[in-house]
Amino acid sequence: MVADELIKAHPNIPHSYLKHLVVSHFIETLSWWLKKGKSYSEQEVVQFYLEILKVGSN
């Protein structure tokens, strides 16, 4: 899972914070997508979300 990868990449950051970050970012991503009128496909939005979180885990 995304949170597990972040926890491994950032062991000094509290796990609860990283999990909160993943969930809140996902909710905000869905909000943004709905406000944009679903102008991107579901797959594109998931890819946006995962790409941003990959950057954070490097």
Element (H, E) at 35: helix 15-35
> Counting runs of H as helices and runs of E as strands, what totals does the chain give?
3, 0
Q: Is the pLDDT of residue 58 over 80?
A: no
Going by C-alpha positions, the residue among 38, 18, 20 that lies closest to residue 30 is 38
The phi-psi region of residue 13 (left if phi > 0; otherwise alpha if psi is between -120 and 50; otherwise beta) is beta
Where residue 38 falls (left for φ over 0; alpha for ψ -120 to 50; beta otherwise) is left
* Domain extent listing, the chain: 2-57
What per-residue confidence (pLDDT) applies to 1?
A: 67
pLDDT at 49 over 70: yes
Query: What pTM does this model have?
Result: 0.76
Tens of pLDDT, residues 2-43: 778 888 889 999 999 998 998 999 999 999 999 999 999 999
Task: Identify the pLDDT of residue 15.
Answer: 92
